[in-house]
Chain A
Amino acid sequence: MKVLALDTSNRPLSAAVLDDNQLLAMTTTNIRKNHSIQLLPIVETLLKQTGLEAEDLQRIVVAQGPGSYTGLRIATTTAKTLAYTLNVDLVGVSSLKTLAANVNDEGRIIVPLFDARRDNVFAGIYQRTATEMKTIMADRHISIKHLIANLLEMQVPVWFIGQDVSIYEETLKLQLTDNFHRVSRAQDLPDAYVLGQLGLNEKPVEHPFNFVPKYLRLTEAEVEWKKKHPHEDTKPYVEKI
């Protein structure tokens, strides 16, 4: 099966073309450049390099979130439109799980995280088993304090992964002491080859129509509105005219 895998959930961009579990071509960038400008030209180049046409693709896999809202929407919109118009499978994979799957050591507890500002992170807890990435704590938007509390309770060595770990490294070391471990920097970037492989094993969505990023957070405007109007709503929010 020919697979296109895309991840623009944060500053790094990774895109790959796979033939089942075999990598055909991949590009990863980690520069402050607009994903909107970069993504599709990279996809074009990858397909050209592999001698494939868009219509040869059989499955589109995309990192569905969490991450930067705008970043998520670029790959997700691209993926859902490609899947819709090519009439092929669409699979959304957690951006955090994609990162965690960079770690291959069996049994390890892995904590991928992205900074969400103001001492909050997007994080999950995963364990690498012989057959899969097992979810110990589902992805969520969580304060660094609560994440640390959860990890202290587990009382096991944990391996942190992600470029944003450095922001919280001192606090994490201080509180988790010997249980704090850091993966090598080489593993900190999302890898669309890993994403594509995860996507081969996950179930495609029923239809691309309703596919949206997993932001894991309401917008601030909605949070405020709900506080003030607990029993009201203006649904349906979107109407055809």
Chain B
Amino acid sequence: MDKKNLILAFESSCDETSVAVIENGEKILSNVVATQINSHKRFGGVVPEVASRHHIEQVTICIDEALKEANVKTTDLTAVAVTYGPGLVGALLVGVAAAKAFAYANNLPLIPVNHMAGHIYAARFVKPIEFPAIALLVSGGHTELVYMPYENEFQIIGETRDDAAGEAYDKIGRVLGITYPAGKDIDELAHKGKDSFHFPRAMMHEENFDFSFSGLKSAFINTVHHADQINETLDRADLAASFQQSVIDVIVEKTLWSCEQFSIKQLILAGGVAANHGLRDTLSEKLSEQYPDLDFVKAPLKLCGDNAAMIGAAGYVAMKHHVFADASLNAEPSLEFDWVPDAVK
């Protein structure tokens, strides 16, 4: 029998410290996630210096728990994988320093992983990825469509020109008095209301794969402020439903158009906002109507947020393609996949 490939993976790009042990790129032996949400709730959003301080408190505890839970000894490991970007630089540095030291002390190869590739590979825990594929990545920091012509190749075909979808959720959440992180509560509230405000759907019919959510955010805020001024109370559920419908319509429309333009075998939905039920359901419905043969793979709900399991899965693929880093690996806060400038056909 072949020796198992066991990757110890690190993730610390934002407000979750996570360490996981992944077998053969497809099986989660452990996935320890320490979330700092309670801390950043105090400030209504992630404060980078506070995040970095929590990461260093947690990192070795997470390593230890991940190894114990997986029942794996250091000598069983094949490699170490780590998120080196994109994300908050101070936060990334803690994971990178810990992963490098661990790999060095135990003579293990080090695999640098792009956080966004990690999000896509959360879907790997549902089934193998088949190429060519497109991934719709929606999170607090990103909204992008990524084309994957073959394994370990990621090309951006479109992204947000201003706010990420998750960012817009947090901003309108503040207006509705919903504490950070607002995504889940707005999603729930939206299900109780109906789309009655008809907010704008920016760029929806433009022939590109880009998004824009700042106009929607402004329209929302103006609507609420105007009502405040004339002492009118708007239905919060309807507001949430209208906002969410506008976000979903644009994302779904652009995604469907990408399926039209590229001949792909799979569409992957991933990223923190991929946990949004409205988005998951609408996309499933539209895809089964319009592209019944297309394989739609949604990242498991539990793995939509930041976690190291997804980094281990992406790291396994990178390792297959001989992507390694040395002891000088640095954090790259604005790391991006390559763009495909001629994506629009």
* Chain A interface (Cβ < 8 Å from any Cβ of B): 34, 36-41, 43-44, 54-55, 69-70, 73-74, 76-78, 80-82, 84-86, 208-210, 212-213, 215, 219-222, 225, 229, 234-241
Choose from A85, A210, A219, A225 the contact partner of B49 (Cβ within 8 Å): A219
Q: Which of B31-39, B124-132, B192-200 contacts A (4 or more CB under 8 A)?
A: B31-39
> Contact at A85–B106, with CB atoms within 8 Å?
yes
Are B330 and A78 touching (Cβ within 8 A)? no
Is B105 touching A77 in the complex (CB atoms < 8 A)? no
Known: A40-B328, A238-B39. A78 touches B101 (CB 8 A): yes
Nearest CB of chain B from residue A92's CB, rounded to whole Å: 12
A-B contact count (CB 8 A): 133
Assess the A70–B33 pair: CB atoms within 8 A. no
Could you tell me the distance between the alpha carbons of A189 and B326 in the complex, rounded to whole angstroms? Answer: 28
Per-residue A-contact encoding for B170-186, CB less than 8 Å = 1, 0 else: 00000000000000000
B327: CB under 8 A from chain A?
Answer: yes
Interface residue? B56 (CB, 8 A): yes
B54 contacts A by Cβ under 8 Å: yes
CB-defined contacts of B326 to chain A, threshold 8 Å: 41
Residues of the A chain whose Cβ atoms lie less than 8 Å from the Cβ of B39: 234, 237-238
A85 touches B105 (CB 8 A): yes
Find out whether the CB atom of A78 lies under 8 angstroms from the CB atom of B33. no
Does B58 have its Cβ within 8 Å of any Cβ on chain A? yes
A234 to B98, alpha carbons, bound, how many Å?
A: 28
Q: Are B98 and A81 in contact (CB-based, < 8 A)?
A: yes
The answer for the CA separation of A70 and B328 in the assembled complex, in Å, is 16
B240 contacts partner chain A, Cβ-Cβ < 8 Å: no
A–B complex contacts, Cβ < 8 Å, 30 sampled: A34-B330, A36-B93, A36-B96, A36-B97, A40-B97, A43-B327, A44-B104, A44-B327, A54-B105, A70-B89, A73-B56, A77-B97, A77-B101, A78-B98, A78-B101, A80-B59, A81-B60, A81-B101, A85-B102, A85-B105, A212-B56, A215-B53, A219-B50, A220-B49, A234-B39, A237-B36, A237-B39, A238-B17, A238-B34, A241-B33
0/1 string, B207-227, CB within 8 A of A gives 1: 000000000000000000000
B98 — which chain A residues lie within 8 A by C-beta? 77-78, 81
CA distance A241 to B35 in the complex (A): 7
Residues of chain A contacted by B60 (CB below 8 angstroms): 80-81, 84, 208-209
- The distance from the CB of B102 to the nearest CB of chain A, in whole angstroms, is 5
Q: Is B258 engaged at the interface, CB distance under 8 Å to the other chain?
A: no
Task: Give the residues in chain A near B34, CB-CB below 8 Å.
Answer: 238-241
Pick from B40-48, B153-161, B241-249 the stretch touching chain A: B40-48
Assess the B94–A237 pair: CB atoms within 8 A: no
Name the A residues within 8 Å of B328 (CB-CB). 37-38, 40-41
Does B87 interact with chain A (Cβ within 8 Å)? Answer: no
Is A210 a contact partner of B42 (Cβ separation < 8 A)?
no
Q: Does B276 contact A (CB under 8 A)?
A: no
How close is B298's CB to chain A, nearest CB, in angstroms? 20
Residues of chain B with a CB closer than 8 A to A54's CB? 104-105
B110 nearest in chain A by CB position: A40
CB-contact partner of A69 in B35, B52, B97, B106, under 8 A: B52
Q: Determine if B57 is an interface residue (Cβ-Cβ < 8 Å).
A: yes
Extra 11 A-B pairs, beta carbons < 8 Å, given A69-B52, A221-B43, A225-B43: A37-B328, A43-B104, A73-B97, A77-B94, A78-B98, A212-B53, A212-B57, A219-B49, A219-B50, A234-B41, A238-B57
What residues of B have a CB within 8 angstroms of the CB of A44 in the complex? 104, 327
Asked if B49 and A73 make an inter-chain contact with CB atoms under 8 angstroms apart, the answer reads no
Report A-chain residues with C-beta under 8 Å of the C-beta of B52: 69-70, 73
Please indicate which of the listed interface residues B37, B41, B42, B106 has the most CB atoms of chain A within 10 Å of its own CB: B42
A-facing residues in B35-92 (Cβ within 8 Å): 35-39, 41-43, 47, 49-50, 52-54, 56-61, 63-65, 74, 89-90
- B54 near A237 with CB under 8 A, answer yes
Q: How far is the CB of A151 from chain B (nearest CB, A)?
A: 31
**Residue B100 CB within 8 A of the other chain:** yes
**With an 8 A cutoff between CB atoms, is B123 at the interface?**
no
In the complex the two chains form, what is the Cα distance from A239 to B38 in whole Å? 8
Question: Closest CB-CB distance, B325 to chain A, in whole Å?
Answer: 11
Q: Does B331 contact A (CB under 8 A)?
A: yes
In the complex, which of the residues A74, A210, A235 contacts B93, with contact meaning CB atoms closer than 8 Å? Answer: A74
CA distance A102 to B96 in the complex (A): 32
Nearest CB in chain A: distance from B48 CB, A:
9
Partner of A237, one of B38, B89, B96, B100: B38
The distance in angstroms between the C-alpha atoms of A57 and B100, with both chains bound, is 17
Question: What residues of chain B lie closer than 8 Å to A213, measured between beta carbons?
Answer: 56
Query: What 4 pairs across the A-B complex have the smallest Cβ distances?
Result: A237-B39, A40-B327, A81-B101, A77-B97
| A80–B105 alpha-carbon span in the complex (Å) | 12
A225 in contact with B101 given A84-B63, A240-B33, A240-B34 (CB within 8 Å): no
Do B100 and A55 touch (CB < 8 A)? no
Q: Are B102 and A81 in contact (CB under 8 A)?
A: yes
Given contact pairs A69-B90, A234-B42, A235-B38, A222 touches B102 in the complex (Cβ within 8 A): no
